[in-house]
Amino acid sequence: MRRAGLVVWGAHQLALSLVRPGVTTGEMDRAIEQFFLDHSAVPLFKGVPGKVPFPAVCCMSVNEEVVHGIPSDRVLLAGDIVSIDTGCSVGGWCGDSAVTYPVGDIHSDVQRLLDCTSGVLALAIELMATRNRWSDVATEMAKFVRDYGFTVVENFVGHGIGRKMHEDPQVPNFCTPSFRRNHDFELESGLVIAVEPMVNMGSKKVRALPDHWTQSTVDGQPSAHFEHTVAITENGPVVLTAGPAAADASAADELV
């Protein structure tokens, strides 16, 4: 899974090098598709069943789009943000990660939204080292976002990941009494989950667009999404979709 995670990280490095005013989301998607091909990695998003099969190797969601946006000939403009979510498998094992990128200079309020969303993902990973149950992590995540004055999207959640991209358990970024009672899980060694907070500047509510895939905020305010695939090991959480230098060197790099 670390191998797949490193390829996904590499795809994000490529995205980072390409994202700028004037590029289209479709161009970036095609570059990442070629990158997966070059690394003998199988893209996981293309062909995902729906009313229409998902047509690209990445989801690219711009500004008020939350998740599941379809890459297209849309030209990115300075001040936009674009959430790029992608995944691949290597040797039959999956990796899945999302980053929201600023396009050129962005408004300070929007930068604050990115800081909150990447920050709440970092917080969750940190808490996974010391908390025993996901409900405790999710409760802290929701509080972190609330303290920023933003909202956690509740329609979509993270997930277990392994041989398949989407496995049990469901991994919400908020905690309800029903979750704590019926769906909570232990953070035990061997568990691998994709943690993926989606944070809205305004209302938490989302709606689907007519393309059957793109999810947008109902109020048109911006939304951000960050995701890592994280393994719990005897030595604590290891971010499988982090780069070689940033990852916890002890555990992650031994796995490669």
3-class SS at 111? helix
Q: How many residues bind Mg ion (CB under 5 A)?
A: 5
Residue 194 interacts with Mg ion (CB under 5 A): yes or no: yes
**Judged by CB under 5 A, does residue 4 bind Mg ion?**
no
Whole-angstrom Cα distance, residue 36 to residue 43?
7
Closest by CA position to 69, among listed 199, 172, 173, 216? 216
Select 39 or 112, whichever has its Cβ closest to Mg ion. Answer: 39
Enumerate residues 202-231 that contact Mg ion by CB under 5 A: 227
Cβ-based nearer residue to Mg ion, 103 or 171: 171
Q: Which neighbouring-strand residues pair with 232?
A: 237
Is 141 among the residues that bind Mg ion (CB under 5 A)? no
**CA–CA separation, 76 vs 57, rounded Å?**
18
Told to check if 99 binds Mg ion by CB under 5 A, we report no
Q: Does 33 bind Mg ion (CB under 5 A)?
A: no
Q: Specify the stretch interacting with Mg ion by CB under 5 A; choose among 98-106, 116-124, 181-189, 230-238.
A: 98-106
User: Which lies closer to Mg ion via its Cβ, residue 48 or residue 202?
Assistant: 48
CA separation for the pair 239, 224 (Å, rounded): 20
The CB density around residue 205, as the number of other CB atoms within 10 Å, is 15
63 vs 241, beta carbon nearer Mg ion: 241
Q: Residue 116 corresponds to which tokens in the numbers above?
A: 């909150």
**83 binds Mg ion, rule: CB under 5 A:** no
Q: Residue 31: which of 45, 18, 47 has the closest Cα?
A: 18
What is the Cα–Cα distance from 218 to 208, expressed in whole angstroms?
9
Nearest-angstrom CA–CA distance, 241 and 230: 8
Length of the chain: 256
Q: How far is the CB of 162 from Mg ion (least distance, A)?
A: 13
The reply on whether position 252 binds Mg ion by CB under 5 A is: no
Per-residue binding string, Mg ion, 57-76, x by CB under 5 A, is --------------------
Question: In terms of CB distance, is 146 or 164 closer to Mg ion?
Answer: 164
Does 29 contact Mg ion by CB under 5 A? no
Return the ∠ at Cα 62 (arms to 60 and 64), rounded to 5°. 130
Tell whether residue 96 is a contact of Mg ion (CB under 5 A).
Answer: yes
CB nearer Mg ion, residue 98 or residue 252: 98
Q: Which residues bind Mg ion (CB under 5 A)?
A: 85, 96, 98, 194, 227
